[in-house]
A and B are shown apart, each in its own frame.
Chain A
Amino acid sequence: MNDREVDELIQDVLDGDDSPQLAERLAEALRDPSVRARHDVMAALFGRLRAVPLEDPADLRDRVMAALRARSAERAHDLPRGSHPRRALAVSLAAAAAGLAIVAAYFAWHPDTPVGDGVRGALAPLVPGPARMFTGELSAGGVTIRLRASREGEGLRIEVAAPPAAGSEVAIFFAADELTARATGFREDGAGRVVLPLGPAPARGTVALEPVGVARTPVGVRLTTPAGSAWTEIAVEPATPGP
């Protein structure tokens, strides 16, 4: 046997092929000290790999289902106008914040998301800390907007700056039963959606989102232009119990 054949024999046996033929061939080969040494190296490697444990993905199901709900809500808004009841936009902050906290906020950022595919792109979790803030860009159809999201009290503040882009708009989607919004520059466009229309001049808008309960559903941001759209999500997670 050449070296390669020896290695394959060693690995086949270590990998669980326990046929008598292979065992006999290996026993024969192991009389050679150099083969024995290679066997020991490979056996140690198998053992070391076995010792690496699997880990549990905490709250993965909750995250996935929350994202699916958010996406479903976003698509519901694409139905013709008048299909959904409108709700008042501004809600008091005092009652909303009482006893509730969003401890961890992560921002999922998809700058290159193509039309119809909202999950492509890098995900950038926000670093926990007092200065939680995320800035980035969202581009579609040759239009690039700037986004800045930050913690504000117990809620989130999202600022949008857009260049002149007639016929385009920026929409922010949120679960109306989990978050309330105060918006500047944006207009209300049904429950859980505010829109910043873009025109011939640069546009700016701000949305402050406050929890009215345990907020789980990610906030979505969609840029729509005549030539295409892009979508990103801002995941909002409930408080993590302390030790």
Chain B
Amino acid sequence: MAVEDEGTLIQRVLDGDREAFGSLVDAYGRVVFNLALRMVNDREDARDLSQTVFLKAYERLATFDRRNRFFSWIYRITINESLNWLERRRPHEELKEDTTGGSGSASAPDAVEAGEDRVRVQETLQVLRADDRQLIVLRHFLQLSHREMGEALGVPEKTVKSRLHAARCRLAEALRQKGYGRG
């Protein structure tokens, strides 16, 4: 979304045009949902979390510093909500479901294999610490640049890179330990 459009929409919402907020949901709903989904690994919880994120954003929109970018603000809300959710969750809750987008055509071995591998990756992501997981999700699933990640996480770009390096190494090692290693 263009910055001008975003700023206009935000102003309209602040002026009382509630429906304008729907356009912000359209613009960011997919990434917010996917961030929540990969963090909590449960579609229904991710749907509820996404709704909560946008309701909070709406309630607090007047406090949003418009010198910053809206996406980094709402990503941060999403991350905080996801981390809160993870804290509340029972510590040894089992993996609830396949949240990896399905396995494609069940009759195609490649598709089945690809689907199974997505399950393995998602399952292994849950083994990582939440702060490692959020780095992987922001970079690899939401395609944020290091600078954008830094804005969303409130840390310098250089810190993002070093933490991301470490997170990837831990993910690769976790996959290996689970017997899912490749390469």
Contacts and interface: CB of A to CB of B under 8 A. Distances in A.
Contacts of B100: 52-53
Interface of A: 7-8, 11, 15, 37, 40-46, 48-58, 60-61, 63-65, 67-69, 71-72, 106, 108, 117-120, 122-123, 125
A106 B49 CA distance: 13
Nearest to B49: A123
Contacts of A67: 51, 55
A106 B85 CA distance: 18
Contacts of A43: 183
Contact of B175 (A45, A61, A106): A45
Contacts of B164: 11
Interface stretch (B3-11, B66-74, B117-125): B117-125
Contacts of A125: 44, 48
B168 A45 contact: yes
Contacts of A41: 172, 176, 181-183
B171 A45 contact: yes
B22 interface: yes
Interface of A is mostly: helix
Contact of B56 (A63, A72, A119): A119
Contacts of A119: 52, 55-56, 59
19 contacts: A8-B165, A37-B183, A42-B172, A44-B183, A45-B175, A48-B121, A49-B136, A51-B118, A52-B101, A55-B37, A58-B47, A60-B25, A64-B25, A64-B29, A64-B51, A64-B55, A64-B58, A106-B48, A122-B85
A117 B38 CA distance: 26
Interface residues of B, number: 55
Interface of B: 18-19, 21-22, 25-26, 29-34, 37-38, 43-52, 54-56, 58-59, 85, 88, 99-101, 114, 117-118, 121-122, 136, 139-141, 162, 164-165, 168-169, 171-172, 175-176, 181-183
A5 B18 CA distance: 51
A71 B55 CA distance: 10
Given A40-B183, A49-B136, A68-B58, A7 B165 contact: yes
A48 B182 contact: yes
A115 to B, nearest CB: 13
A12 to B, nearest CB: 8
B33 A60 contact: yes
A146 B34 CA distance: 34
Contacts of B50: 57, 60
A69 B55 CA distance: 11
B65 to A, nearest CB: 20
